[in-house]
Structure 1
Amino acid sequence: MFSWFKKDPAAKLQTAYQTKLTEAMHAQRNGDIRAYSALTHEASLIKAELDALQAPSNTSIDTTNGH
């Protein structure tokens, strides 16, 4: 009944991903390459989680030839 109040987990992850990329960009511009590398890595982990969440739930692969 109150489904419109539920937050979309994909939207939350997308926001976190964009935030990490922005932080990484600022670190790179300030010359802090170690922070840039760490933040980019964190962003890639969030992106992988986001991709897994958005992937179709049917992950079974049919390996038959269909004959």
Structure 2
Amino acid sequence: MFGFLKSDPGLRLRKKLRKKYDNLSTQAMLAQRKGDIKTYSLLTAEAETLWNEIQQLNIKQS
């Protein structure tokens, strides 16, 4: 009856992953600005992997 009051555990995980993704993207941008292309590419690859994981969680949730 009051199922709408229960929090979605998947939502909490998606928010945590999104925050980590945003942080990685910011770090990658700063590395690129400094001219550190190797670090930029590593951080971007990690962020892309994380983004794919977030997308898969969104698909499963729908």
Please give the range of the TM-score, normalised by the shorter of the 2 chains. 0.7 to 0.9
- 2:31 matched to 1:27? yes
Q: Offset at 1:23?
A: 0.3
Kindly report the root-mean-square deviation, in angstroms, between the aligned alpha carbons of the 2 structures. Answer: 2.2
Shift of 1:22: 0.1
Q: How many residues end up aligned between the 2 structures?
A: 56
Higher helix content, 1 or 2: 2
* Alignment CA distance shift 1:15-1:57 (3 Å): closer
When the two structures are superposed, what TM-score results if normalisation uses the length of structure 1? 0.73
Identity of aligned residues (%): 36
Unaligned runs of 5+ in 1: 59-67
For structure 2, the residue ranges without an aligned partner over 5 or more in a row are 1-5
